[in-house]
């Protein structure tokens, strides 16, 4: 046999062997396990939704690098991103679309604003789809749903944890405990839940007198009337609960304009998003504190650096770290359920004992009957030198808290 | 301060804030009135023209305004510089798209082309919003000027009563009033103004009189776009914006135009001014979260009691 004929024969044999082996190889590669991310990636909340996607993508990648779901033949996770839009109605439609378009979804995370999560979870509950959420509102886990799992402390719980810490800090560093407080809040579900808990006895318990309370519908077009109330009330402290960055700018600038120097404590992330620096002078932000459900913290430096390198984010907000952690929670629950069935995953999440929480502040990776993460705490951040850094809890703090001196 | 002084200070502060923000609302309403009054086109993309004006002013500020004129004056120079660019954009938009469903081209179309106009301008709005999101990103930006958080202090009177006059808003209001006056003079005193009025009153007769109605419409569309874009540029110092910001203002624009009297350019300005005042004064007696709802209650009352608006006559146009 001549050399060309031998080569041709060998090639044909190799090709035949390859064709025969192909189905076997395809069979041995497990089908990915779909996890949904329902978050706003269009409209006015597109930016935080995009950051949620960054965290989820990194989480999926790291879980897959670690071998995927061992119990299911090392099946990798696959992220299905669904745009919840920027209104409750759009979020409801998106949830219905998610359930219909992705029948193989086993679980999901979302949906940024509590108002959206409340709407989305109405759909996922009926579809028996487990939904992890960072949203704070107490209502989310207060409806007796079986498929909702709240990784954050609820708004009410956050207020309970945060207020004594804030007042102790003021007393320790200034020698004087604040006596009066003004509240400016938007009327989204999470903000109202926090304020409700404050008014339902928490303020009295910590010795604060409410001198004014203003509720507004976001986004504001002008903050004069709100800040005028602070000027009238002359409080020792301002609690400020916005969910839209533009509202943060309007209030802080109006306070500067009215020459009001009131220590400001926010609840939520709208005052600490990177985009705030596009709109507000960093000097106005210096010292402002915010109680948030989660934040990049001590021990996560490598992860934070990777986020910065890959996506150009200046710091890791709660939206990225939480969806990152959610992927690890899904991995733990899938290893436990060892099934692609939604109901089995829900059951596994309800009885999960994943040990100490690595990507959420405080508590463990275990959920109570209502879906609260057991022992969930919060993070307090503070703008220091143009960056919001974690100052509480001390074990996770990247810097020491400094009481904002007027 | 006594209770009376506190109340007086709050009322005066609300009036001042309402007048200043109302002047900017008025300017954006005038832009819409130019298009609506002269061409009778219901333009759903007007809010998005404002958004483009905000971005144009932002890039002009970042590109040369801040370096050449400083961050204070530069923000206003940037807003003014963006206006001619937006005039050209509006002109081109009319030449390429709008004229196909307006003027003589709409003859024979169902409902005189209004359905086609609605669908076309809605389509333009969607393309502009999503195109801006692709080009500029979803994050919020604003023109960062020290004037947005600085105020001229008036007082104190009595036991500490005082007024704070936001510097950025005052300059923006002054520019708005100057532009409105210039526009009014142009419409009343120049040949171009005459052709615009003629095209608005009776397009057919205008053609017989030798007026290029298509050109007049194109000019009106360009002017309307530029004026609303200028209002956006002036607002951009105080208000962070994003590609969907137009949706937040387009309803205010329509409310202002209807309040002032459909077709009346000066009426549209006063309509916008009224919205600013109602928005601020309502917060004195009602919860702040009802501020925007109050505007529409007031709007409905005017529509019921005086359907032709504050300053319009049923037959008046431009």
Q: Between B269 and B299, whose confidence is greater?
A: B269
Same domain for A269 and A306, yes or no, is: no
Please check whether residue B306 lies inside any domain of the structure: no
| Distance, CA of A134 to CA of A392 (rounded, Å) | 18
Q: What is the mean pLDDT of residues B86-94?
A: 96
Range of the domain at B137: 29-244
pLDDT band of residue B265 (cuts 50, 70, 90) is confident
Please check whether residue A401 lies inside any domain of the structure: no
Same domain for A285 and A311, yes or no, is: no
Q: Are A119 and A88 in contact (CB under 8 A)?
A: yes
Same domain for A384 and A273, yes or no, is: yes
In this predicted model, what pLDDT tens digit does every residue of A136-150 receive, in sequence order? Answer: 888 999 999 999 999
Q: What is the mean pLDDT of residues B297-306?
A: 88
| Distance, CA of A323 to CA of A305 (rounded, Å) | 17
Please check whether residue B279 lies inside any domain of the structure: no
Is A286 part of the contact surface with chain B (CB cutoff 8 Å)?
A: no
Same domain for A240 and A308, yes or no, is: no
Please check whether residue A316 lies inside any domain of the structure: yes
Q: CB-CB: which of A86, A224, A278 is closest to B140? A: A278
Q: Which residues contact B173 (CB under 8 A, 6 or more apart)?
A: B19, B20, B23, B24
At residue A194, the pLDDT reads: 87
Please check whether residue B300 lies inside any domain of the structure: no
Is A210 part of the contact surface with chain B (CB cutoff 8 Å)?
A: no
pLDDT at A6 over 90: no
Please check whether residue B288 lies inside any domain of the structure: no
At residue A16, the pLDDT reads: 52
CB-CB under 8 Å, A44 with B146: no
The interface predicted TM-score of the complex, written ipTM, equals 0.87
Same domain for A96 and A199, yes or no, is: no
Q: Are B74 and B68 in contact (CB under 8 A)?
A: yes
Please check whether residue A12 lies inside any domain of the structure: no
Q: Are A385 and A375 in contact (CB under 8 A)?
A: no
Please check whether residue A247 lies inside any domain of the structure: yes
Judged by average pLDDT, the poorest of A240-254, A296-310, B244-258, B301-315 is: B301-315
Q: Are A387 and A315 in contact (CB under 8 A)?
A: yes
Q: CB-CB: which of B13, B140, B287 is closest to A275? A: B140
End-to-end CA distance of chain B: 48
CATH for A162: 3.40.50.2300
| Distance, CA of A26 to CA of A39 (rounded, Å) | 33
Range of the domain at A346: 33-153+299-375
Computed over every residue of chain B, the mean pLDDT equals 90
In this predicted model, what pLDDT tens digit does every residue of A204-245 receive, in sequence order? Answer: 999 999 999 999 998 888 999 999 999 988 999 999 999 888
In this predicted model, what pLDDT tens digit does every residue of B168-209 receive, in sequence order? Answer: 999 999 999 999 999 999 999 999 999 998 888 888 888 888
Q: What is the mean pLDDT of residues B289-299?
A: 87
Same domain for A46 and A149, yes or no, is: yes
**Secondary structure (3-state) at A216:** strand
Q: Which of B251, B282, B239, B186 is nearest to B54 (CA)?
A: B239
* Residue B162: closest C-alpha in chain A: A258
In this predicted model, what pLDDT tens digit does every residue of B215-238 receive, in sequence order? Answer: 999 999 999 999 999 999 999 998
Judged by average pLDDT, the poorest of A33-37, B37-41, B51-55 is: B37-41
Same domain for A37 and A50, yes or no, is: yes
| Å between B57 CA and nearest CA of chain A | 14
pLDDT at A261 over 80: yes
At residue A4, the pLDDT reads: 53
pLDDT band of residue A278 (cuts 50, 70, 90) is confident
In this predicted model, what pLDDT tens digit does every residue of A34-60 receive, in sequence order? Answer: 999 999 988 778 888 999 999 999 999
At residue B316, the pLDDT reads: 46
Q: What's the total number of domains in chain B? A: 1
pLDDT at A27 over 60: no
At residue A182, the pLDDT reads: 96
Same domain for A237 and A94, yes or no, is: no
List CB contacts (< 8 A) between B13 and chain A: 224, 228
| Å between A263 CA and nearest CA of chain B | 17
CB-CB under 8 Å, B17 with A222: yes
Quote the tokens at residue A333. Answer: 């629950």
At residue B139, the pLDDT reads: 82
At residue A11, the pLDDT reads: 55
| Å between B22 CA and nearest CA of chain A | 11
Please check whether residue B317 lies inside any domain of the structure: no
Same domain for A168 and A280, yes or no, is: yes
Same domain for A385 and A261, yes or no, is: yes
Question: What does pTM read for this prediction?
Answer: 0.82
Q: What is the mean pLDDT of residues A334-340?
A: 95
pLDDT band of residue B268 (cuts 50, 70, 90) is very high
Q: What's the total number of domains in chain A? A: 2
B→A interface, C-beta within 8 Å? 6, 9-10, 13-14, 17, 21, 130, 133, 138-142, 144, 146, 148-151, 153, 164, 166, 238-242, 244, 248, 279-280, 283-284, 287-289, 291-292
Same domain for A129 and A168, yes or no, is: no
Cα distances (Å, whole numbers) of residue B151 to A66, B235, B240:
57, 16, 19
Q: Are B48 and B128 in contact (CB under 8 A)?
A: yes
Is A222 part of the contact surface with chain B (CB cutoff 8 Å)?
A: yes
Please check whether residue A366 lies inside any domain of the structure: yes
pLDDT band of residue B75 (cuts 50, 70, 90) is very high
Q: Between A19 and A51, whose confidence is greater?
A: A51
């Amino acid at each position: 046999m001549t050399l060309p004929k031998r080569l041709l024969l060998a090639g044909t044999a190799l090709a035949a062997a390859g064709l025969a082996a192909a189905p076997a190889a395809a069979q041995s590669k497990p089908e990915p396990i779909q996890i949904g991310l329902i978050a706003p990636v269009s409209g006015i909340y597109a930016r935080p939704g995009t950051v949620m996607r960054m965290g989820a993508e990194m989480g999926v990648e790291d879980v897959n690098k670690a071998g995927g779901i061992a119990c299911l033949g090392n099946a990798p996770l696959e992220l299905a991103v669904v745009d919840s839009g920027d209104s409750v109605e759009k979020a409801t439609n998106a949830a219905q679309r998610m359930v219909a378009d992705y029948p193989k979804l086993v679980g999901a995370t979302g949906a940024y604003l509590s108002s959206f999560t409340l709407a989305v979870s109405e759909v996922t509950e009926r579809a028996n789809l487990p939904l992890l959420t960072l949203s704070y509102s107490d209502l989310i886990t207060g409806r007796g749903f079986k498929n909702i799992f709240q990784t954050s402390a609820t708004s009410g719980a956050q207020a309970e944890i945060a207020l004594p810490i804030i007042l102790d800090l003021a007393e320790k560093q200034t020698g004087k405990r604040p006596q009066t407080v003004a509240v400016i809040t938007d009327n989204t579900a999470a903000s109202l839940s926090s304020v409700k808990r404050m008014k339902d006895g928490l303020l009295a318990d910590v010795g604060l007198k409410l001198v004014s309370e203003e509720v507004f519908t976001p986004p504001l077009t002008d903050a004069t009337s709100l800040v005028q109330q602070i000027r009238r009330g002359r409080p020792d402290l301002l609690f400020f609960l916005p969910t839209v960055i533009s509202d943060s700018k309007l209030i802080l600038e109006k306070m500067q304009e009215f020459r009001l120097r009131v220590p400001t404590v926010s609840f939520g992330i709208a005052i600490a998003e990177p985009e705030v620096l596009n709109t507000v002078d960093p000097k106005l932000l210096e010292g402002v504190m915010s109680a948030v459900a989660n934040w990049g913290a001590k021990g996560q430096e490598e992860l934070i650096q990777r986020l910065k390198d890959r996506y150009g984010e200046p710091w890791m907000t709660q939206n990225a770290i939480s969806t990152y952690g959610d992927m690890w929670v899904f991995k733990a629950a899938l290893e436990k359920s060892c099934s692609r069935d939604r109901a089995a995953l829900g059951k596994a999440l309800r009885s999960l004992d994943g040990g100490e929480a690595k990507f959420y502040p405080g508590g463990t990776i275990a959920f109570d009957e209502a879906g609260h993460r057991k022992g969930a705490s919060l993070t307090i951040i503070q703008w220091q030198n143009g960056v919001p850094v974690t100052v509480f809890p001390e074990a996770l703090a990247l810097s020491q808290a400094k009481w904002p001196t007027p | 301060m006594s209770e009376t002084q506190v109340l007086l200070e709050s009322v005066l502060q609300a009036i001042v804030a309402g007048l200043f923000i109302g002047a900017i609302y008025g300017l954006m309403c005038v832009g819409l009135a130019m298009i609506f009054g002269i061409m009778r086109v219901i333009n759903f993309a007007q809010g998005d023209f404002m958004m483009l004006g905000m971005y144009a002013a932002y890039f002009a500020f970042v590109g040369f305004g801040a370096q050449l004129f400083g961050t204070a004056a530069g923000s206003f120079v940037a807003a003014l510089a963006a206006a001619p660019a937006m005039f050209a954009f509006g002109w081109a938009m009319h030449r390429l798209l709008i004229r196909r469903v307006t003027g003589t081209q709409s003859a024979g179309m169902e409902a005189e082309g209004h359905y086609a106009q609605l669908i076309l301008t809605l389509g333009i709005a969607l393309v502009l919003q999503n195109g801006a999101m692709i080009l500029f990103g979803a994050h919020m930006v604003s023109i960062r000027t020290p004037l947005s958080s600085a105020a001229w202090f008036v007082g104190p009177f009595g036991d500490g009563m005082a007024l704070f006059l936001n510097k950025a808003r005052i300059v923006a209001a002054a520019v708005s009033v100057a532009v409105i006056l210039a526009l009014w003079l142009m419409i009343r005193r120049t040949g171009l103004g005459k052709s615009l009025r003629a095209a608005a009153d009776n397009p057919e007769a205008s053609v017989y009189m030798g007026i290029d109605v298509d050109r007049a419409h194109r000019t009106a569309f360009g002017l309307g776009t530029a004026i609303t874009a200028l209002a956006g540029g002036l607002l951009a110092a105080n208000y962070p914006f994003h590609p969907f910001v137009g949706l937040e203002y387009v309803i205010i624009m329509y409310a202002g135009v209807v309040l002032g009297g459909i077709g009346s350019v000066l009426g549209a300005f006063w309509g916008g001014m009224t919205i600013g005042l109602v928005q601020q004064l309502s917060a004195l007696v009602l919860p702040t979260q009802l501020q925007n709802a109050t505007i529409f209650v007031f709007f409905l009352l005017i529509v019921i009691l005086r359907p032709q608006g504050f300053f319009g006559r049923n037959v008046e146009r431009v």
